[in-house]
Amino acid sequence: MIYNGAGIFYKFDGTGEVNIWMDDKPLGQIRSNEYIIVDLKNGTHKFEVHHLDLFKMKSVHELEIDHKAKVMKVKPTFVSNKVILTNELPSNFKKFTYAKNRVK
């Protein structure tokens, strides 16, 4: 599962929307407090994350996925994006929705 951990301040102005690619294939767009389910195979994967603020923010992250990797947090920042393997659901997960209409 990949979720967008953008805070409430990103939600107001729309800068919390992130577009995600995995291994050069688009996964789709995730808004603040949304998540997608992705079958992550074991191995090293390249994640590219974009969000729009005053400028287009783009970051590339390589993560090693193993059988323990279950939950990934993607979060826009003021100057880039963060991608973190947390393996924990956010504390307010009941407020999250599945981004079914914007994912590939």
Mean pLDDT of 1-7: 89
* pLDDT value for 21: 96
* pLDDT value for 79: 83
Contact 4, 16 (CB under 8 A): yes
Residue 44 pLDDT class (50, 70, 90 cuts) = very high
- Give the chain's domains with CATH numbers: 2-93 (2.60.40)
pTM for the whole structure: 0.87
Give SS3 for 97.
strand
Amino acid identity of residue 63, one-letter, is L
